[in-house]
Chains A and B, each alone.
Chain A
Amino acid sequence: MLDDINDLIERCVNKEERAWSDFINKFSGLVYYSARERLRRNGFSFSEQDIQDITQDVFIDIWEKSRLREVRERRKIKAWISIMGQTRALNYMRKKKERLLREEELFKVENVISDTKGGYGVELAEELTKAIEGFPAKEKIILKLNILYGKKHREIAEFMNIPINTVSTIISRKKETLKTLLKPN
């Protein structure tokens, strides 16, 4: 399976048409999901057409600039493609906003940014950020992932590539500290 991806990318680098078609088949869903999720979490209003344009732009960019040559660890390409999809999505919306501003279509600009904010409450995020300010970086990440994003211990351990016991210990220990810090006066 992993060798398949390695081989597929190698053939894409050599600009084989069939391989490129398979590559699109394999990764369009990933780019599509990443772009849509990024815009949703950043509070943008977008259409289905926008997401399809972004997905297409990502593949054009990879093809025209031969971006696959830059990939060192080919078996683990998914994260790179997903992040690329997300950054292109944000750039796309920024350009769209600029274009609408240039065309003085202010009522449309308002439509680009919706009222919905990210996946967690802003107040909680602010309070938590303040409370954990002095904590070490690793602990800050673990607590944010657990409290703000509702991630399970296993998922956090996988995400950060650390043992699950470490995650569980930090969460149980620091939650007690947080309880006293966040106690209403």
Chain B
Amino acid sequence: MVHGTNCKVRGGDMDANLKCLDEKALSSYLDERLSCSERERVEAHIADCNACLDMLLVAYEASGRNKKYPALLKDRIRNRFGLKQAKKRPELKWLFGSLFFFALSFVFKSYFLQFLLAALILGFKWVMEGEAAKRVIMIFKGVKDQDSEQHTGNKNRVEKFSPR
């Protein structure tokens, strides 16, 4: 059971002459998966090896609670594995808002026009924030940029060949 790396490798210089426990042996101790004799052997080791005792203690503390970590880290690891993220559709809230106000306009007939206007505004927001609308806007922008580039290109050419 007692095998693995030397304590010195683990960064500290204490207990340098002891052979440390490996990952399996250490985690088995906390998981209560060891027989009495194995448990005694692990305890005999960690009683004198501060590095292993400390490692077990961190594992014990870490297991007890949900640990916070930077939100970006999760995405970073996911990207490393090429995992897709669940698609979020934030623009849908505008659609539901629009439908909600549209329904309200029929419930409160005296405010029909006001609710209808609100429904139209939210509907417009939904259309403009949707992927399709964004793509159309990008295409228009691209065409416009190309036109202006062509225009300046022609102008330069004309200037180049015009007699001085």
Interface residues of A (CB under 8 A from B): 17, 20-21, 24-25, 28-30, 32-34, 37-39, 41-44, 48, 52, 55-56, 59-60, 63, 70, 72-73, 76, 78-80, 82-84, 86-87, 90-91, 93-94, 118-119, 125, 137-138, 140-141, 144-145, 149, 151, 158-161
Find out whether the CB atom of B59 lies under 8 angstroms from the CB atom of A29.
Answer: no
**A78/B62 contact (C-beta < 8 A), A137-B47, A141-B53 known:** yes
How far apart sit A151 and B54, CA to CA, in the bound complex (Å)?
A: 12
How far apart sit A17 and B66, CA to CA, in the bound complex (Å)?
A: 23
Find out whether the CB atom of B53 lies under 8 angstroms from the CB atom of A86.
Answer: no
Nearest-neighbor residue (CB-CB) of B86 within chain A: A21
Find out whether the CB atom of A140 lies under 8 angstroms from the CB atom of B48.
Answer: yes
**A42/B60 contact (C-beta < 8 A), A86-B55, A125-B50 known:** no
Find out whether the CB atom of A141 lies under 8 angstroms from the CB atom of B78.
Answer: no
B132 touches A (CB below 8 Å)? no
Please give the distance in Å from B66's CB to the nearest CB on chain A: 6
Nearest-neighbor residue (CB-CB) of B82 within chain A: A17
Find out whether the CB atom of A141 lies under 8 angstroms from the CB atom of B27.
Answer: no
Interface residues of B (CB under 8 A from A): 9-12, 23-24, 26-27, 30-33, 40, 43-44, 46-48, 50, 53-63, 66-70, 73-74, 76-78, 80-81, 83-85
Q: Please, which residues of chain A bring their CB within 8 A of the CB of B31?
A: 73, 76, 79-80
A selection of 19 A-B contacts at a CB cut-off of 8 Å is A21-B78, A29-B67, A30-B67, A33-B67, A37-B61, A39-B11, A48-B70, A76-B31, A76-B32, A78-B62, A78-B63, A80-B23, A82-B62, A83-B26, A84-B23, A93-B11, A141-B43, A151-B57, A159-B56
- Pick the contact of A29 from B44, B69, B84 — CB < 8 Å? B69
Q: Please, which residues of chain B bring their CB within 8 A of the CB of A33?
A: 62, 67-69
Please give the distance in Å from A114's CB to the nearest CB on chain B: 12
Q: Please, which residues of chain A bring their CB within 8 A of the CB of B55?
A: 38, 83, 86-87
**A79/B59 contact (C-beta < 8 A), A28-B74, A52-B70 known:** yes
Q: Please, which residues of chain A bring their CB within 8 A of the CB of B44?
A: 137
- Pick the contact of B57 from A55, A72, A90, A159 — CB < 8 Å? A159
